[in-house]
Structure 1
Amino acid sequence: MKPASEIKSELLQFSGTTQYYRHLLGVLFTDGIKYLADECQCYWLLDLIVSWQTHQHVREQEFQVFKLKVDVSNRTAVVTIEDGNDNIIQTQKIPFTDFPLDSIEIWYSNKVMYLPSEH
């Protein structure tokens, strides 16, 4: 796995997408999200985002922001789902993670997951 600093730097270079990839339930994701999932070995995070779409109070939000914040001291994390206006819709604790970055933000709208820089 690449160093976190290199992954962060490369993630900033994604703007728009050249291809969409299909996940479960018809959800698509972009080049940047594919890079993130491959490099950080975090397809579980995509699964988490898709699984929350089965909950009406999340699904009814047209625009969603998923923020993963890792506590590096004990390798736990919290995912916060917001509506794009800093209003928290839901949180989920992750009891263990080997996610290499201290945080990441993924946007979700119209059944597409993407990085903020790809908007």
Structure 2
Amino acid sequence: MSNNLTKREIVLEIYNKTGFPQKQVVDTVQMTLDIIQKALADGRNVELRNFGVLEVQVRKSRIGRNPNKPEAEVVIPQRAVVKFKSGKILKQQLKKIDLAKLQAQPPAPPAAPAP
């Protein structure tokens, strides 16, 4: 089993706990994600009480280097990024994680290169 929680797993868990039709749960979860995505794309922060805040921030422009040509500097323009700040309850729950168990999990395999 993967260490990631997928949208499908969220849908199945809600379906199992509520008994609502899966189609309705899928539509509701997707609608929720669409609303969050639109708010972030409009530059609005998303506050989910007791969970955390998704904040839109500006990453400053900077100078980067091409590893194949280290002498060539590349200007990386400023851009909007999303940062997550966990809420109080989530922070408390994260303190209870067994770090040894978390570190013992093998890393995810690298993604296959695009054809």
User: Rg bigger for which structure?
Assistant: 2
TM-score (norm 2): 0.24
Q: Return the structure number with greater helix share.
A: 2
